Amino acid sequence: MKKTFLRKLLLGFSTILLFVYGVIFACGGGEDWGWFFDSNFAPETFVDKSYSPLFLSQEVFYGIGFDTEHTTRFNDENSADWTTFLGDNIPAKDLTFFLTDSSSADVKGLTAFFKYKKTNKFSVKWKNKIKLNDSKTKDFILFLKDVQEVEHFSTQKYDSWNYDAIVKPAVLTNLNWIKSMEKKYAATNDPFLKNRYWFLVIKTSFYSTTPEFGTAFFYNTQKDTPKNTLYYRALAYQAGIEYQQKHFAKSNYLYSQVFDKCPSLRVVSAYSFHPQEEKDWKESLNMAKSDEEKAALWAIQGYYTDEEQAIAEIYKIQPKSEHLDYLLTRLINNQENKIDHSFKQNSVLEYKKRTKDSISKSSINLVLKIAQSNQTAKPYLWNVAAGYLETLNGNIKQAEVNFDNAESKMPQTSLAISQVRLLRFVNNLSKIDQIDSNNEKTILKDLTWLYDELPKLNIENLRYENATTWSKNYLSALYKSQKNEVLAELFVRDNSFYDNEKKLEAMKTFLAKNNKTAIEKIGVSVYNVNLVDINNYQAVAATFANKIPEAIAFMQKTEDLQNVKFYGNPFNGYIKDCHDCEHAVIQKKKYSKIDFLNTLKIMQDNISNGEEVYSNSLLLGNAFYNITHFGNARIFHETNINGYGYSPYDFRDPIRAMVTDCSLAKMYYKMALEATTNREQKAKCYYMIAKCERNEYYNVKYKLITNANCWKITDDKINFLAWDGFKKLKANYSDTKYYQEVVNECGYFKTYISQK
């Protein structure tokens, strides 16, 4: 694996600190995508993009995880700068090649061409593409030649399995070469090139054994140097050197300057800022020469520590500071993070009280004060934040005033408009403690917007998932407390709802009625169970209860679902249970669910009439066996309401009990046994009964399994017992053909008969 070695990282932060915190985050198991689901407040709405990685995140940096742009961060800016300098001397594509691709051979060749004024293969290659005769092109190439010398040290690639390369990275040792760069700086008149050589002297020194040379040069020349990105890149190098020398106060002070003035280095400076002791921090503050510099220190410090204090301090001295914006979003997202979003069995009043209690009063007071003052650069951001905090704090009316203020002044981007609408909706719904036909009208439009329209609109960065879940929980809790079980179920599905016959019937009546109110219609639109599902659920339950005419009647009301075909033949019974093998067997007739039930009915009628009792009973045994978990027709019991699963433990308790119960199959196998006319038939019945007994044994043995105590499954090494069916088969039917088939196919039986 190749890795890029970056000296400034070694200088800039403590790997140990990150390691420890990294472990904790990893244990938390959180990812940012998960966090969006707990938040209503998108920091992107009003805050400048350069702060984005610093938004509150469970990862090291929001949106990007780690900063990985160490060698690419300035590519675009560099290209743009050189394009301005070179004009049309070098086309954009070729400029990109020279600046960011493997161009060192070309640069070397062209340097030789300029030096010896002799045509070579590189001058031939480039003469028609770039203006080789222009002095600016020459300046560019010669400069690039020098830059590429230092790139060998600044962007080293090494094999991570090469110990030497890791413990002893190459460092530039030739001070004379650095001095030659200084001479070029002094000799260059063009301000653009001069600035580039200025930076090159400092960068080269940084990657050398004599970084102090660059530091001295920086402080001697900084006064005459434009305060552009290159200046702040150079300043960041100085901050790194100070850190290495354990001058933490100075290092942090310099990083705060970089953070303040150079948006593209905000991530780097925030990552590297790292006071050791309180006195370092105080000294850094004392170094600040102006309120602006002081605000910058608080701004970068607030990222790591206490955004509330940072906001208060910055607001006192620089209320228009842009840094306040990102700190405010961290404060809000942090408050949201403290809220327990689950409703459990709580009423909305209990939920609201818990929310109110969990958010910080001092944070609310600070934000309200600043919002009221109207002194910040983006008062609408403060109004939105204040409104949201008022909602959480239970001051619904005041929240409305804040949202009104924000809306009148804010930029009308679709994110901003949607953000405020979302928070207004949260506020509006929070007003309702008892839902009735009057107040439900106030939320209808927004509910449709939230559940139906927003998912299709894809408004970038808008965090609406939390409001979706929260509002459903909220409405469900309201309806539950008002004893409206059906509406409560529509907004939050309760898996055991249909286990209750009364509730089931109430839901059927509700779903069938035509005159639903607007909110009922919304409830139905977000509910993923319909009448077909319920009829199907009832058909399955009736089948397992052996009420086949009833099952047929329900199944007939399942529209297309009744025509779903089984994968295997549900009337076949095999020695081995292997539902994939049985699905693969060629089948002349494919049974649908309704065909299956109708056939059951015919077979049961035949038995009542005394016709072919053995065959009909055996086939019924197979059929009832196959629709359990152990058979080839699981598709029959897997429904929207029962659930789906590879394992019986994927189903809730009553459903698991139903689908693992083979007693109905056993009953028919026993009935078949009674009607047998020869020993082959008897042998078969005893074996089929043994399969049912085996399944009963597994059901009891693994009854206690849950994911939590999978370690505790008794490993008694008992895979099978001498079931009654086995005993009978062994004792009385060893001369049958079927017996031999069982010996050949069933290892358990074979082991059993070989035991003495």
Partner 1 sequence: MIAFYYWKTIFKLAPSEKKILDDNQVKKLYIRYFDINWNAKQKQAFPQSPIRFAENPTNFTIVPVVYIKNKVFLNKDLNILDLAQKTNNFIEQINTKNQIDCQEIQIDCDWTLSSRDNYLKFIDCFKKISKKKLSATIRLHQIKYFQKTKIPNVDKGVLMYYNMGKIASDSLHSIYDRTIAKRYLTSLKKYPLPLSIALPIYSWAVHIRDAKVIGLINKTNSLNFENNPNFKLANKNWIKVTKSNYKSGTYYKKGDLLKLERISKNDLLEMANDLEDNLAKTPIEIIFYDLDEFNIKNYEKDLFEKVTARF
Q: Do residues 181 and 201 touch, judged by C-beta distance below 8 A?
A: yes
Largest CA distance in the chain: 115
Count residues near partner 1 (CB under 8 A): 33
Token pair 């069982």 in the structure block, residue: 742
In whole angstroms, the minimum distance from the beta carbon of 449 to partner 1 comes to 34
Note whether 640 binds partner 1 by CB under 8 A. Answer: no
Q: Which of 1, 187, 512, 718 binds partner 1 (CB under 8 A)?
A: 1
In whole angstroms, the minimum distance from the beta carbon of 592 to partner 1 comes to 39
- Write out the H or E segment, with its range, that includes residue 156: strand 156-159
Say how many CA atoms lie within 13 Å of 244 toward its Cβ. 14
Dihedral in degrees, nearest 10, Cα atoms 625, 628, 634, 638: 150
Distance CA 636, CA 654 (A): 16
Q: Which of 83, 148, 228, 309 binds partner 1 (CB under 8 A)?
A: 309
Work out the end-to-end distance of the chain between its first and last CA atoms, rounded to an integer number of angstroms.
Answer: 60
**186-194, 210-218, 271-279, 512-520 -> range binding partner 1 (CB under 8 A):** 271-279
Q: Which of 176, 677, 711, 754 binds partner 1 (CB under 8 A)?
A: 711
User: Closer to partner 1 at the Cβ: 304 or 644?
Assistant: 304
Q: Which of 247, 274, 341, 493 binds partner 1 (CB under 8 A)?
A: 274
In whole angstroms, the minimum distance from the beta carbon of 319 to partner 1 comes to 23
Distance CA 82, CA 79 (A): 5
Note whether 24 binds partner 1 by CB under 8 A. Answer: yes
In whole angstroms, the minimum distance from the beta carbon of 100 to partner 1 comes to 20
Note whether 253 binds partner 1 by CB under 8 A. Answer: no
Q: Do residues 325 and 48 touch, judged by C-beta distance below 8 A?
A: yes
**73-81, 231-239, 301-309, 513-521 -> range binding partner 1 (CB under 8 A):** 301-309
Q: Do residues 89 and 134 touch, judged by C-beta distance below 8 A?
A: yes
Note whether 21 binds partner 1 by CB under 8 A. Answer: yes
Note whether 718 binds partner 1 by CB under 8 A. Answer: no
Note whether 23 binds partner 1 by CB under 8 A. Answer: yes
Distance CA 413, CA 420 (A): 11
174 three-class SS: coil
Write out the binding residues for partner 1, residues 83-122 only, by CB under 8 A.
Answer: none
In whole angstroms, the minimum distance from the beta carbon of 8 to partner 1 comes to 18
* Per-residue x/- track, 139-168, partner 1 (CB under 8 A): ---------------------xxxxx-xx-
Question: Using CB atoms within 10 A of its CB, is residue 72 exposed (0-12), middle (13-18) or buried (19+)?
Answer: exposed
User: Closer to partner 1 at the Cβ: 227 or 712?
Assistant: 712
**Integer CA distances (angstroms), 224 to 97, 186, 191, 231, 265, in order:** 32, 12, 11, 11, 22
User: Closer to partner 1 at the Cβ: 219 or 304?
Assistant: 304
**122-130, 289-297, 302-310, 449-457 -> range binding partner 1 (CB under 8 A):** 302-310
In whole angstroms, the minimum distance from the beta carbon of 161 to partner 1 comes to 5
In whole angstroms, the minimum distance from the beta carbon of 2 to partner 1 comes to 9
User: Closer to partner 1 at the Cβ: 259 or 571?
Assistant: 259
Alpha helical stretches, state H, 155-274: 163-167, 175-187, 191-206, 211-221, 229-244, 248-261, 266-272
**288-296, 300-308, 554-562, 606-614 -> range binding partner 1 (CB under 8 A):** 300-308
Q: Which of 152, 157, 227, 338 binds partner 1 (CB under 8 A)?
A: 338
**18-26, 100-108, 224-232, 568-576 -> range binding partner 1 (CB under 8 A):** 18-26
190 three-class SS: coil
DSSP state of 374: T
Note whether 701 binds partner 1 by CB under 8 A. Answer: no
577 three-class SS: coil
Distance CA 314, CA 298 (A): 7
Distance of CA 435 to the CA centre of its chain: 34
DSSP secondary structure string, 433-459? SS--TTGGGGTHHHHHIIIIIHHHH--
**23-31, 372-380, 578-586, 665-673 -> range binding partner 1 (CB under 8 A):** 23-31
In whole angstroms, the minimum distance from the beta carbon of 540 to partner 1 comes to 34
Distance CA 649, CA 524 (A): 29
State the angle between helix axes of 613-626 and 679-701 in degrees (0 to 180), rounded to the nearest 10: 20
Note whether 580 binds partner 1 by CB under 8 A. Answer: no
User: Closer to partner 1 at the Cβ: 280 or 485?
Assistant: 280
Q: Which of 3, 183, 246, 344 binds partner 1 (CB under 8 A)?
A: 3
In whole angstroms, the minimum distance from the beta carbon of 334 to partner 1 comes to 9
* Per-residue x/- track, 276-295, partner 1 (CB under 8 A): xxx-xx--------------
Distance CA 527, CA 164 (A): 62
In whole angstroms, the minimum distance from the beta carbon of 303 to partner 1 comes to 11
In whole angstroms, the minimum distance from the beta carbon of 305 to partner 1 comes to 5
User: Closer to partner 1 at the Cβ: 305 or 751?
Assistant: 305
Residue 44 is which amino acid? E
State the angle between helix axes of 679-701 and 724-732 in degrees (0 to 180), rounded to the nearest 10: 150
Distance CA 155, CA 72 (A): 10
Nearest C-alpha neighbor of 313 from the set 294, 335, 286, 290: 294
Q: Do residues 636 and 596 touch, judged by C-beta distance below 8 A?
A: yes
| Structure-block tokens of residue 8 | 């400034």
User: Closer to partner 1 at the Cβ: 166 or 170?
Assistant: 166
* Per-residue x/- track, 213-252, partner 1 (CB under 8 A): ----------------------------------------
User: Closer to partner 1 at the Cβ: 167 or 718?
Assistant: 167
In whole angstroms, the minimum distance from the beta carbon of 306 to partner 1 comes to 6
In whole angstroms, the minimum distance from the beta carbon of 17 to partner 1 comes to 6
| Structure-block tokens of residue 58 | 């469970």
Distance CA 238, CA 231 (A): 11
User: Closer to partner 1 at the Cβ: 168 or 502?
Assistant: 168
In whole angstroms, the minimum distance from the beta carbon of 471 to partner 1 comes to 26
With a CB cutoff of 8 Å and minimum separation 6, the contacts of 518 are: 440, 441, 444
Distance CA 694, CA 723 (A): 7
Q: Which residues pair with 221 in a beta bridge?
A: none
Note whether 15 binds partner 1 by CB under 8 A. Answer: yes
Q: Residues interacting with partner 1, by CB under 8 A?
A: 1, 3, 14-17, 19-21, 23-24, 27, 160-164, 166-167, 274-278, 280-281, 304-306, 309, 338, 711, 715
